[in-house]
Structure 1
Amino acid sequence: MAVFIKLVENRAPKEYADGPATDIVFADITEGESAVVYQYDVLPSGALRILRVPQGAGPVVNSVVAPGLWVRVEGHWHGTSL
């Protein structure tokens, strides 16, 4: 499963028609030796952290999105469910 992030729409109204500009997708690679899955978690500050998990290795931070920049996230949660 990929991780999908919907960012805050902070653009001029004429640019709202360009929906994909406010979306970020981290697509999993499921085939071959370079297989990788993406997961996310939310830090206590509200920052969204995207983790890259290569096959057979531990997670590595891929990117961080500031708390005020993202609205919604979908995908595989990294960590324990509450």
Structure 2
Amino acid sequence: MPKTVILHLSGEDPVLADMDQEPEPGDLFIRVTNMRKKDGKPVPYLAAGVQAVIYPWHRITFLEIMPSEEERSSVVDFFRM
């Protein structure tokens, strides 16, 4: 089951994407599918019909891996009282 990630690219706005598996320490690139802006709109610099994009690590500032629905029940969110 793919995990949703927030991909922070150098010099670009963050985008949402799906990853089949988390990257390993020795990986030179990551492969993401279903790229979209955070508001769900298409990413303007991708051609229509693109299925997957491969990014080398030097283009990525950082990567946020979001919990899946079954993991969300065990994640404790912060709240104020």
The TM-score, its normalising length taken from structure 1, stands at 0.39
The TM-score, its normalising length taken from structure 2, stands at 0.40
